[in-house]
């Protein structure tokens, strides 16, 4: 009994980490844009869905094999992100935050409409790059896709850290996030850095989308719930902290699975799968009220 309960527990932890990895990637995308522009990109989930469809159409309709399609999809997404910033976001950047929020909502509705218009509303199959094998590790069934997802999420975080920490572009990106005006004075091309931020965010979203599609099925609404989990993860970790987004995402994934696990064994028996989303929202509310800066966020000091 105890052994079964323990392997069940580990099972939930592993699958929680896998879904948490996806939340983390999308949360990271939100954080990158929020840090540099102060905007929450409501279209982030739809951009990821769009990218996943690109990968699907490249493999199915254009006969590419998975990895070339993967790379092409990342490139297209990066270009798309830069393009969205140049064409749609930049003209409203100087106005009120609310205007940018409305524009991202317009993007959300528009991209979702385009996906349905172009590829139809029926669910499609996007295959996993890691195959469908499962491994039995001491009674815990581990899917190759889950391990792959966690590995990719951690690998990307490492790459991003290297980019931000050790390259000139990364330094410029951080400078723009801290103080765009002074960054401009010392010769950083601020608008291009912002566009680059959007490109990076779109690329991260693309990875998240391509990793989500094999487990939940590729359909136009696929990322809508994931986006809300990503909000929760970003808030939990501190909305300006990349590390926080990753820790927040993984923590949220495991936490939500723990609730299902505990409800199976009697505790929290009011918890049902429909309450997963409200539970994530409750986490947002509690974090915002108790510690609005999140786990890794720094308190904001306002100068009068």
User: In whole angstroms, how close is the CB of 172 to another protein at the nearest point?
Assistant: 24
With a CB cutoff of 8 Å and minimum separation 6, the contacts of 221 are: 112
106 binds another protein (CB under 8 A): yes
* 233 and 24 Cβ atoms separated by less than 8 Å: yes
d(CA 144, CA 138): 15
H or E segment at 140?
A: strand 140-143
* Count of residues in contact with another protein, rule CB under 8 A: 48
Contacts for 63-67: CB closer than 8 Å, 24+ residues apart:
66/127, 66/129, 67/129
Q: By CB under 8 A, which span of 7-15, 102-110, 189-197, 252-260 interacts with another protein?
A: 102-110
255 binds another protein (CB under 8 A): no
Copy the structure tokens of residue 20.
């948490």
273 binds another protein (CB under 8 A): no
10 Å Cβ neighbour count for 75?
A: 12
277 binds another protein (CB under 8 A): yes
* 13 and 257 Cβ atoms separated by less than 8 Å: yes
One of 48, 103, 175, 250 touching another protein (CB under 8 A): 103
Using CA atoms in the order 88, 94, 96, 102, what is the torsion angle rounded to 10 degrees?
0
d(CA 297, CA 62): 44
One of 68, 79, 91, 139 touching another protein (CB under 8 A): 91
d(CA 215, CA 228): 18
One of 99, 165, 189, 298 touching another protein (CB under 8 A): 99
120 binds another protein (CB under 8 A): yes
80 binds another protein (CB under 8 A): no
123 binds another protein (CB under 8 A): no
Q: Residues 214-243 vs another protein: string with x where CB under 8 A?
A: ------x-------x--x---x---x----
Looking at beta carbons only, is 200 or 239 nearer to another protein? 239
3 state SS of 224? helix
Q: Kindly list the residues in this chain that would bind another protein in the complex (CB under 8 A).
A: 34, 38, 40, 88, 91-92, 95-99, 101-103, 105-118, 120-121, 220, 228, 231, 235, 239, 274-275, 277-278, 281-282, 284-285, 288-289, 292, 302, 304
């Amino acid at each position: 009994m105890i052994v079964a309960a323990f392997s069940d527990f580990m099972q939930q932890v592993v699958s929680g980490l896998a879904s948490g990895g996806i939340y983390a990637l999308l949360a990271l995308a939100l954080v990158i844009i929020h840090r540099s522009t102060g905007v929450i990109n409501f279209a982030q989930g739809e951009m990821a869905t769009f990218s996943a469809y690109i990968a699907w159409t490249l493999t199915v309709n254009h006969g590419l094999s998975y990895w070339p399609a993967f790379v092409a999809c990342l490139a297209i997404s990066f270009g798309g992100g830069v393009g969205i910033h140049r064409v749609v976001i930049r003209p409203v950047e100087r106005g009120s935050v609310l205007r940018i929020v409305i524009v991202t909502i317009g993007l959300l509705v528009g991209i979702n409409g385009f996906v349905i218009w172009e590829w139809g509303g029926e669910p499609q199959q996007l295959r996993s790059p890691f195959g469908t094998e499962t491994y039995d590790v001491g009674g815990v069934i581990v899917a190759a896709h889950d391990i792959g997802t966690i590995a990719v999420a951690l690998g990307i975080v490492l790459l991003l850290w290297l980019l931000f920490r050790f390259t000139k572009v990364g330094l410029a990106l951080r400078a723009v996030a801290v103080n765009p005006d002074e960054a401009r004075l010392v010769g950083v091309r601020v608008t291009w850095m912002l566009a680059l931020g959007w490109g990076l965010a779109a690329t991260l979203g693309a990875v998240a989308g391509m990793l989500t599609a094999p487990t939940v099925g590729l359909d136009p609404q696929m990322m809508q719930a994931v986006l809300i989990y990503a909000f929760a993860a970003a808030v939990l970790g501190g909305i300006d902290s990349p590390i926080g987004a990753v820790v927040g995402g993984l923590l949220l994934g495991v936490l939500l699975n723990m609730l299902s696990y505990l409800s199976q064994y009697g505790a929290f028996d009011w918890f049902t799968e429909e309450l997963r989303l409200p539970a994530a929202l409750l986490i947002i509310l509690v974090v915002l009220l108790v510690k609005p800066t999140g786990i890794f966020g720094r308190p904001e000091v306002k100068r009068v």
